Structure 1
Amino acid sequence: MADTKTTKSNSSGIRRREFLATGAAALAAGVTGFPAVLRAQAAPVKIGLIHPVSGFIAFSGSQCRAGAEMAIADINAAGGIKSMGGAMIEAMLADSQGKPDIGAAEVTKMAEAGVHGLVAGYSSAISLATSQEAAKTNTPHVVDVGVSDSIVNRGLSNTFRFGPGYGKVAEMAVTNLDTINKAAGSPAKTAMIVHEESLFGTGTAELLSKQLPGIGIEVVDVIKHANPTRDFTNIALQIKSKKPDLIIPANYYNEYVLLARTLRQQKIEAKGIYSVLGGAASNLQFVGEFPEAAELIMDCNHWYDPKSEVALERRKAAEAAGLVYTYEVFLAYNAVAFLADAIERAGSTDPEAINAALASSTWANHGMPYGPTKMVNGQNEGAQPVNTQVQKGEIEVIYPEEFASAETVFPMTM
């Protein structure tokens, strides 16, 4: 089992032994107060970050951790938790290794070590496990990416998700696809769904299979693949034989990239690749490394507001630090900032107070294409995905119109 690690804040606190010695001398001299520099630093606020930084989804987990740590650094640099005397945030780090049971075990260890809040765990399966374990101690738990609606539909008063779940994503994906298709004269009439085997891919595929016929698109096949999968040749041949108008992937990063490259290599023609929560379609690393395979792919996914100065400044800072600005980075950043804002308003590390502050949040400094923050049973009802499309090496927002940075290109040409 991975060891939980603690990252100390960068505050210039005085060591306890020196403080006590100085204080005793001052009291002996009849001094009634300490100079400001000698006053005890506020106790740190401990936030646990549990992500899969090893295993088959290590890239995404590492991106989450980086985004979360960026948020902590920014909050501490701005003065920490001001309502608690400028308390610095300490990150407690753990690696779930992509396994729900290990993620849950790390929650137990962190609770024993006095953690005040948790941000976890990238995948839906891990987030289900970590939030369930955190509920045993009522530890505030914010989900950064996990999209399964089961996470927030269990009545856990300690669990909150700032981003949208796959129910909302699938609904908007279908609605926006209908708009895109009709605007082009309805060329797409059939689709094939290719999804990974876990809760995320399976749940997304089930929702789409039910909803696509309602907009006149027949689902001719649904193909499930294992994690990891290192060869998509057979799946590509199945797609080629059925000739769907739309190919709809729902997979994690590595498998998505390999599928897209295989489709390109096999010269499989389709009117569009339209992914839902695609693991690479809204990823600048994929676009940069494999521009031909990525070009004109559409996705309904998490993305920032391209017209927000907050979002643009955070992207600039992340890229200056050598990061690819993926949705994992900004969703994890916002999960930490959302939790820190609640702690600030609670003015306490009492879990009941923090959970109440999270439940009543109207936090707005997120740079996302969201409406007002409104928590209902732990889900931010103001959150929504957007539709993106890769155009000339950049990821552009194409829907909703108020956030759009480019016009849609559809049908695509291979």
Structure 2
Amino acid sequence: MSISNGRIGRRTVLRGGAALGATLAMPGILRAQTPEAIKVGILQPVTGTLAQDGELGRTGAEHAIKAVNDAGGIASLGGAKLEMVFADARSTPEGGTAAVEQLQSDGVAAIVGGFASPICLASSQAAARYDLPYIVDVGVSDQIVSRGLTNTFRFAPGFGTCSKTAIDNLVKLNEAAGNPARTVVLVHEDGLFGSGLAKLMAAELPKHGFEILDTIAHPTPARDMSNVALRIRSLKPDLIIPSSYYGETVLLMRTLHQQRVEPKGFYSVLNGAASNMRFVKEFPEVADLDMDCNHWHDPRKDEAQALKKSVEDAGGLWAYNIPLNYSCVKLLADAIDRAKSTEPKAINEALAASTFEGHIMPYGPTKFENGQNTGARPVSLQVQEGEIKVIYPEEFANAKPVFPIGG
């Protein structure tokens, strides 16, 4: 630098100005050094009836975003990090629709979540107006993926697959025990989820030799299950099959326990409590040996076990919502990386062509047909000695089934 009598020389100033101008003329270089964060919309019901499930879903998404960022972010976009933009669905379809509008205005690249079928139906439809990629985490109603929406992708299995798997595994379980169970009572919440599932079970179980003694609907939320329990007690079924959300299932099971209703088995399908460690820890005697056909992590995968440990070490309780949302966010990160873009059209195309295997679920490679992941499947679970164990299929099982349990 040329300094004369304490003054900076004219040539130095000109050289400095030219260098500054050259720097300002290369914003692309500066952006490449610090790529802009990619906003990911996480939509869950964290207020209202479904708040517990929404918080579990948010936990899974948070862990996945951290895992992706810690691993270097989105490689094809210069290591861009994921940034969560959260929206509360407020446990209603209307809340889900409003949440989509909020996330769209916030500039998210895609949305993950929804949990309940009515919320997922409404919110994915709202997202379709903007062609905004929407990955459904749980919502099992097959209407979600039967509308031809090119922006909607369900990672987990739906009603049809879950009910077929549940029945196949129940038949196998019953036959292995010498066919002790013949009669069934179905108990379900009266919304889209429970009613749809009960209808499928009522149609299919008789084909396998089971007699449906009654199908009992209840509202969500429900404050009393005494009449339901009394009806079940009078019918004396071999099996009770509940399909309800967490609070109602816990209330039903505790009431049945208090009234000493002892069937040969509780075999839930997509149940809100039987696959939730909160129920197991708070009411161990009531939950013991309950079975459920539901979403669950692959117990053989180290990444799944590490995530479970991390959640529990932090004082959290484990349920299927966590590994499902964790896997959904990683699926999205993989699609963005392959798309090399945050444009909705490019992400939708990448998701539609996905062969993602980096999930922690007991699934095969991801393959979407009409928005449904055909590689997804549920597993049969049973509470044993204070833990939730996989009992079917055998290749994922970490325990043998205990059946019958009473009656």
Say if 1:120 and 1:130, in contact at 8 Å, map to a contact too. Answer: no
| 1:313 CA displacement | 1.4
Given the alignment of the two structures, is residue 204 of structure 1 paired with residue 197 of structure 2, yes or no? yes
Distance 1:30 1:156, change over 3 A: closer
Give distance in 2, aligned partners of 1:267 and 1:26: 84
| 1:24 CA displacement | 7.7
Given the alignment of the two structures, is residue 363 of structure 1 paired with residue 338 of structure 2, yes or no? no
Give distance in 2, aligned partners of 1:170 and 1:26: 68
Number of the residue aligned with 2:127: 134
Give distance in 1, aligned partners of 2:378 and 2:283: 24
Distance 1:183 1:32, change over 3 A: same
| 1:40 CA displacement | 4.9
Give distance in 1, aligned partners of 2:39 and 2:182: 52
Number of the residue aligned with 1:348: 341
Give distance in 1, aligned partners of 2:246 and 2:84: 26
Given the alignment of the two structures, is residue 298 of structure 1 paired with residue 291 of structure 2, yes or no? yes
Structure 1 gaps of 5+ residues are 1-22
Structure-1-length-normalised TM-score: 0.91
> Which SS does the other structure have where 2:120 is aligned?
helix
Given the alignment of the two structures, is residue 120 of structure 1 paired with residue 116 of structure 2, yes or no? no
Give distance in 2, aligned partners of 1:408 and 1:114: 48
Cα RMSD for the two superposed structures: 2.0
Number of the residue aligned with 1:161: 154
| 1:26 CA displacement | 4.9
Given the alignment of the two structures, is residue 102 of structure 1 paired with residue 102 of structure 2, yes or no? no
> Which SS does the other structure have where 1:138 is aligned?
coil
Number of the residue aligned with 2:253: 260
Give distance in 1, aligned partners of 2:196 and 2:17: 63
> Which SS does the other structure have where 2:217 is aligned?
strand
Say if 1:243 and 1:270, in contact at 8 Å, map to a contact too. Answer: yes
Aligned with 1:281 (options 261, 274, 280): 274
Say if 2:264 and 2:403, in contact at 8 Å, map to a contact too. Answer: yes
Distance 1:358 1:30, change over 3 A: closer
> Which SS does the other structure have where 1:195 is aligned?
strand
Number of the residue aligned with 1:221: 214
Distance 1:156 1:245, change over 3 A: same
Give distance in 2, aligned partners of 1:77 and 1:168: 35
Say if 1:272 and 1:412, in contact at 8 Å, map to a contact too. Answer: yes
Say if 1:310 and 1:365, in contact at 8 Å, map to a contact too. Answer: no
Give distance in 1, aligned partners of 2:250 and 2:19: 65
| 1:413 CA displacement | 2.9
Give distance in 1, aligned partners of 2:277 and 2:324: 15
Listed one character per residue, the Cα deviations across residues 134-181 of structure 1 (whole Å, up to 9, x for unaligned) are 001100000011111110111000000111111100000001100111
Number of the residue aligned with 2:48: 55
| 1:308 CA displacement | 1.3
Task: Give the paired residue count.
Answer: 392
> Which SS does the other structure have where 2:395 is aligned?
helix
Listed one character per residue, the Cα deviations across residues 109-142 of structure 1 (whole Å, up to 9, x for unaligned) are 2212221100120100000001000001100000
Give distance in 1, aligned partners of 2:234 and 2:19: 85
Number of the residue aligned with 1:13: none
AA at the equivalent of 1:348: S
Distance 1:241 1:72, change over 3 A: same
Aligned with 2:330 (options 331, 334, 337): 337
Structure exhibiting the larger radius of gyration computed from Cα positions: 2
AA at the equivalent of 1:313: A
Number of the residue aligned with 2:179: 186
> Which SS does the other structure have where 1:176 is aligned?
helix
Distance 1:206 1:24, change over 3 A: farther
Say if 2:245 and 2:273, in contact at 8 Å, map to a contact too. Answer: yes
Say if 2:299 and 2:396, in contact at 8 Å, map to a contact too. Answer: yes
Number of the residue aligned with 1:308: 301
| 1:316 CA displacement | 1.4
Listed one character per residue, the Cα deviations across residues 300-351 of structure 1 (whole Å, up to 9, x for unaligned) are 0001111111211111122222221210111111111111110011010111
Structure-2-length-normalised TM-score: 0.93
Given the alignment of the two structures, is residue 392 of structure 1 paired with residue 389 of structure 2, yes or no? no
Give distance in 1, aligned partners of 2:239 and 2:72: 50
Given the alignment of the two structures, is residue 251 of structure 1 paired with residue 244 of structure 2, yes or no? yes
AA at the equivalent of 2:335: A
AA at the equivalent of 2:253: A
